[in-house]
Amino acid sequence: MSQPLRFSVTKYIPDRLFGFATSDTGQQVFFHLGAFNPQFGPPEIPRCEKCPREGCTWASTPPAPILGEPVEVLLDDAHPQEPEEGHAPRAVRVTRLTKPLALTGMVETFDAQRGYGFVRGSDGISYHLHRSEIIESRIPLPDQTVMFYAGVRENRPRACHVRVCP
């Protein structure tokens, strides 16, 4: 096996269970969720006072890859495969390097037609909210409480793995 390399998660598609990570030099690798090692236990769960669900399981397990998070990537040198043109090499191991930040927040805006809006986190930061990050496909309404993980996409705060509270 090769030496681990530092990358950042640049794309993760929850429905398809795969994503991509990119290095500072622009090298990109493909990874499947099966190669992802969350390394840390579940984050401390921010309990939403408004949540009527007893034993809410939103953050009871470590989350899937979060956009912008630093990871260590291991490529398989023993069985190198030349990726097809236009395809990234496949990582055999992707390890989370930092513990994810779980937050609660209040939806500021959400345009259901366009599929995006903003949520103000409990840390005071406004995070971009995209429909692809919403769990259970529930449309959030302004002033509704959500729970999410703080991510980064294109150097901007992004709400990842968002759970709309009842």
Domains of the chain: 5-96 (2.40.50.140), 102-164 (2.40.50.140)
Residue pair 91/22 in contact (Cβ under 8 Å)? The answer is no
The predicted model scores a pTM of: 0.83
Residue-by-residue DSSP string for 14-49: TTTTEEEEE-TT--EEEEEGGGEE--S-PPPP---T
Query: Are 138 and 153 a contacting pair, CB within 8 Å?
Result: no
Q: Does residue 42 surpass a pLDDT of 60?
A: no
The size of the chain, in residues, is 166
- Answer for the pair 30, 89: CB distance below 8 angstroms, yes or no: yes
72-93 pLDDT, tens digit per residue, is: 999 876 555 555 666 788 999 9
Q: Are 77 and 59 in contact (CB under 8 A)?
A: no
Least confidently predicted of 58-62, 64-68, 126-130, 148-152 = 58-62
The predicted-structure confidence for 128-150, as pLDDT tens digits, reads as follows 999 999 987 789 999 999 999 99
